[in-house]
Structure 1
Amino acid sequence: MLTNICNVYCVGRNYKLHAEELGNAIPDEPMIFMKPSHAVVPLNVEALELPASKGEVHYEAELVIRIGRNYEPGVRVDELVNAYAFGIDFTLRDVQTVIKKKGHPWTAAKGFKNSAPVSDFQSFSGKEALLEKDFTLTKNGVEVQRGNIRNMIFDLQHVVDYVGYHYGLGAGDIIFTGTPEGVGPAAEGDVLELAWDGQSVGKCTIAAAK
């Protein structure tokens, strides 16, 4: 259930091959941006409305973790996180390209309505269990992304420590932990489906916002 969500943190360029596919430098510390909590919606919807007049909308499949208690220095990620899910960080890529050149914040490209659909959360049994399986995204039945968190540049412990120290973390906060390579455009009528270890966790059909 997507209830009581507070802050929505996101980690940019946390997979080396994804950074390279967009021609970006590999970061030497986590790149954190935020989405409004209103951007978070259930992944399982027949029609997910996204902007149709602002250029290409790209999908970015990600593991999402939910914080279950207030962050304190030294706390282990296995004690801090109480649930995980999978989500899509939708990005207005053409808009992002322009605002990056101008040095403007990413909100216009990342924070629009419905830009953060998330599957149902599942009980978190520790980071080691998440290392054992891949998550995938298919578009119209064809696999376009496959990721495993062992390939993150900054692992889950590093991410929660960084966010907790610099910005704070509390119960109800969620973190989109970064996307693997394979991002691309989603058009009206496309069906996107996320899976974990080959089992579907949710899907949506893209619709143009009225």
Structure 2
Amino acid sequence: MVATSIGNIICVGRNYAKHVKELENDIPTNPLLFSKPTHALHSPSGQLALPFHLGAIHHEVEIVVKLATAYNDALPLDDIIEAIAIGIDWTARDVQSSLKEKGHPWLISKGFKGSAVLSEFIPFPGENAFKQITFSLMNNGKIVQSGATKDMIFPLRSLLTYIDRQLGTDKGDIIYTGTPEGVAPVQSGDVLQMQLKNPSTGDISTDGPLNIVEANKMNV
């Protein structure tokens, strides 16, 4: 994962109905968008220091797509999307809840260093095959989240159309497409692994282990 080859990091919230329900939110009528700075990127293995002094830090496993070019309605998705990956959108949930109550942006709760875990990319399997992707997150050897892209509220084409109209898009932009149910806090000492089933080959790739430690308060 090379940050210099990545443009904007765009994230989609509330894109799986059961996740929306577990956090007692309303199903959105349009995609809910937010972003992260590029220094939030982190590899899917090694040690990850999380700012537990901010309160509960929740994992949100997601499928990530990378654009080969700016979005164009006239192009097939196979020409627009270069690759896919699996990632974790880390969320400082207590901070986010406080910001939401005040009507403030979420950036502080979503954009801290290391809050965007990202695996290596694999070639985009095609629009139809993308709908067959399954993925999961394990914490200490137990599956804590599992999802299927067919369950996305807003499918890929709809997401890209909306994102391009609202924000614009360009080559190298990556999009975290939303998380399924099962988000939960982690603690120092937890070991996480992500799994992605490639619909083109049937292969299951495992990324990790990612060892969670507590960040030095002075460095956050």
Partner of 1:153: 153
Contact 2:132 2:149 in 1 (8 A): no
Query: CA separation in 1, counterparts of 2:130 and 2:76?
Result: 15
Following superposition, the deviation at residue 6 of structure 1 comes to 1.1
Give the 3 Å change call, closer, same or farther, for CA 142–153 of structure 1 in structure 2: same
Secondary structure at the aligned position of 2:96 is classed as helix
Amino acid at match of 1:167: L
Contact 1:2 1:42 in 2 (8 A): no
Partner of 2:7: 6
Secondary structure at the aligned position of 2:109 is classed as helix
Query: CA separation in 2, counterparts of 1:160 and 1:59?
Result: 24
Following superposition, the deviation at residue 57 of structure 1 comes to 0.2
Following superposition, the deviation at residue 79 of structure 1 comes to 1.5
Partner of 2:35: 34
Following superposition, the deviation at residue 203 of structure 1 comes to 3.1
Partner of 2:76: 76
RMSD in angstroms over aligned alpha carbons? 1.1
Partner of 1:129: 129
Partner of 1:21: 22
Following superposition, the deviation at residue 166 of structure 1 comes to 1.3
Partner of 1:200: 206
Amino acid at match of 2:193: E
Query: CA separation in 1, counterparts of 2:125 and 2:196?
Result: 15
Query: CA separation in 1, counterparts of 2:68 and 2:89?
Result: 22
Secondary structure at the aligned position of 1:150 is classed as helix
Secondary structure at the aligned position of 1:165 is classed as helix
Following superposition, the deviation at residue 209 of structure 1 comes to 0.6
Amino acid at match of 1:209: A
Secondary structure at the aligned position of 2:35 is classed as strand
Give the TM-score of the pair, scaled to structure 1: 0.96
Contact 1:64 1:175 in 2 (8 A): yes
| Matched positions, count | 209
Give the TM-score of the pair, scaled to structure 2: 0.92
Contact 1:68 1:172 in 2 (8 A): yes
Identity of aligned residues (%): 43
2:111 aligned with 1:111, yes or no?
yes
Deviation string, structure 1 residues 5-53 (Cα, Å, up to 9, x no partner): 11000000000000000000000100000001110121122x1011020
Contact 1:77 1:160 in 2 (8 A): no
Amino acid at match of 1:172: G
Structure 1's unaligned 5+ residue stretches are: none
Contact 2:11 2:36 in 1 (8 A): yes
Query: CA separation in 2, counterparts of 1:203 and 1:108?
Result: 26
Instruction: Tell me which moved more, 3-12 or 149-158.
Output: 3-12
Query: CA separation in 2, counterparts of 1:79 and 1:71?
Result: 9
Structure 2's unaligned 5+ residue stretches are: 198-203
2:197 aligned with 1:189, yes or no?
no
Following superposition, the deviation at residue 132 of structure 1 comes to 2.5
Deviation string, structure 1 residues 101-122 (Cα, Å, up to 9, x no partner): 0000000110100000100001
Partner of 1:166: 166
